[in-house]
């Protein structure tokens, strides 16, 4: 039985490498769809949680991970030698950027080398991690073909970008269309068959490079448009115009306009990082991506703008930033999740601390900070009560979690700096400053 037949019969075994925000929901969907699956990760704590049927991601409930435990077809493991038992290998490892905004593909390349050690004839290897065009058919293929096996003949190679949106109540792994690009037509056919078995719609494209570029375009589109409204927010603030009122008016147009909203900076895995994969690759073609880099410059400046607004607001209250007590509400990069990757709240804490402020945070989804890449922050979330609010010189709404009692916040804080338009309707003259 060949791989296509095994996929159709649900007898193919799937291995997902990297059980984070993209890999975990993906492997859950494969198990639910009847595929025997392996979950590979270097983090033993994640493996232990899955063995106990517990979730380590807030928006993925234990009920979902208990499905993995109760189903005898799922095996979480740190033993990558088991890759030889897998028919289809999907890579969902991190692809960050370094301090120079250059791509860090170390996890992808190390993972590919591990796969090469155990590569079996007829296996499918798919990369889902965001990257620049050429990673799959150049970098990965070179490593895998060093085994003597040829892509498209001895094994199948494809790229299908992760499109997960944490805690999105409208779209999930199964309903988000899956873009799929193969190194050869045969590779595309196999990869498309695999994803077609677990999602409602696939979008086959001409090559792995088209699929890689499509993911970058999605993120760059959002980054550029967010930069536009962020710049307009700063301008309209000087003109004493409410940017949110402007957006509400503009979005009544039923065509030719899509609403984007300003904030204290970009956060998450994709939007702050993905554009730099293309700007870096473009330099190899003697091309300077001015538009993309301008958007990044604007978005990167937003936490500094917010800090300036905090300093000005404290001054009007006859306080200086040094030794002022500041409470950041929300450490996650967006509402109602526990993901701090790239969160502008972390930058706000850093900048305020540098200015001498005493900074705490509250986030009901993040009771204490974890060790993060390049971040030495170690704090516990303080309780959010009337008495707590009254202790701070300034309360900054950085993430607009749905569970926050904004009326309580406005009534009890001496100063609120709102970066998310969260207290609209609870406005108290002299207390709330929009930033």
Write down all domains in the chain, each with its CATH number in brackets. 3-206 (3.40.50.720), 222-434 (3.40.50.720)
Burial of residue 116 (number of CB atoms within 10 Å: 0-12, 13-18, 19+): middle
**Confidence at 372, pLDDT banded by 50, 70, 90:** very low
Give burial (CB, 10 Å; 0-12/13-18/19+) of 146: exposed
Residue 347 pLDDT > 60, yes or no?
yes
Among 126, 131, 164, which Cα is nearest to 14's?
126
Give the span between the Cα atoms of 191 and 181, in whole angstroms: 8
Distances (CA, A) of 49 to 33, 43, 55, 278: 22, 10, 6, 36
Q: Is the pLDDT of residue 376 over 70?
A: no
3-state secondary structure at position 421? coil
pTM of the model: 0.93
Q: For residues 171 and 360, what is the distance between their CA atoms, to the nearest angstrom?
A: 34
Catalytic residue positions, numbered: 270
- Residue 166 is predicted with a pLDDT of 83
pLDDT tens per residue, range 245-280:
999 999 999 999 999 999 999 998 889 999 999 999
Q: Give the pLDDT band (50/70/90) at residue 46.
A: very high
Q: Residue 347 and residue 185: Cα distance in Å, rounded?
A: 45
Strand partners, 298: none
pLDDT band at 373 (very low <50, low <70, confident <90, very high): very low
């Amino acid at each position: 039985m060949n791989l296509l037949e095994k996929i159709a019969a649900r007898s193919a075994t799937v291995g997902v490498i990297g059980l984070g925000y993209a890999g975990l929901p993906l492997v859950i969907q494969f198990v639910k769809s009847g595929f025997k699956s392996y979950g590979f990760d270097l983090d033993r704590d994640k493996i232990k949680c899955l063995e106990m049927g517990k979730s380590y991601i807030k928006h993925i409930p234990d009920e979902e991970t208990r499905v993995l435990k109760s189903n005898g077809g799922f095996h979480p493991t740190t033993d990558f030698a088991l890759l030889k038992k897998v028919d289809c290998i999907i890579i969902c490892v991190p692809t960050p950027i370094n301090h120079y905004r250059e791509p860090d593909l170390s996890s992808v390349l190390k993972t590919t080398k591990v796969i090469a050690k155990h590569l079996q004839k007829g296996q499918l290897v798919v990369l889902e991690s965001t990257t620049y065009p050429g990673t799959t058919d150049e970098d990965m293929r070179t490593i895998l073909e060093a085994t003597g096996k040829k892509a498209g003949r001895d094994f199948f190679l494809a790229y299908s970008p992760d499109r997960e949106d944490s805690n999105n109540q409208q779209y999930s792994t199964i309903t988000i269309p899956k873009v799929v690009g193969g190194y050869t037509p045969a590779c595309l056919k196999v990869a498309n068959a695999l994803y077609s078995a677990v999602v409602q719609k696939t979008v086959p494209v001409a090559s792995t490079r088209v699929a890689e570029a499509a993911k970058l375009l999605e993120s760059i589109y959002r980054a550029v448009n967010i930069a536009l409204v962020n710049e307009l927010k700063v301008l309209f603030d000087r003109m004493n115009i409410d940017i949110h009122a402007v957006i509400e008016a503009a979005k009544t147009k039923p065509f030719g306009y899509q609403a984007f909203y300003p904030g204290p900076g970009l956060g998450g895995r994709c939007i702050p990082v993905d554009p730099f994969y293309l700007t870096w690759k473009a330099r190899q073609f003697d091309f300077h991506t001015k538009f993309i880099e301008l958007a990044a410059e604007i978005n990167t400046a937003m936490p500094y703008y917010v800090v300036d607004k905090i300093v000005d607001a404290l001054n009007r209250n006859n306080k200086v930033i040094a030794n002022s007590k500041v409470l950041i509400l929300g450490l996650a990069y967006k509402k109602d999740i526990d993901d701090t990757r790239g969160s502008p709240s972390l930058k706000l804490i850093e900048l305020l601390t540098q200015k001498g402020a005493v900074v705490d945070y509250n986030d009901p989804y993040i009771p204490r900070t974890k060790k993060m890449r390049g971040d030495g922050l170690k704090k516990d979330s303080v309780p959010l009560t009337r008495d707590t609010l009254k202790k701070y010189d300034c309360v900054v709404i950085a993430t607009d979690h749905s569970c926050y009692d904004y009326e309580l916040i406005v009534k009890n804080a001496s100063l609120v700096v709102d970066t998310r338009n969260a207290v609209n309707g609870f406005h108290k003259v002299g207390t709330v400053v929009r930033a």
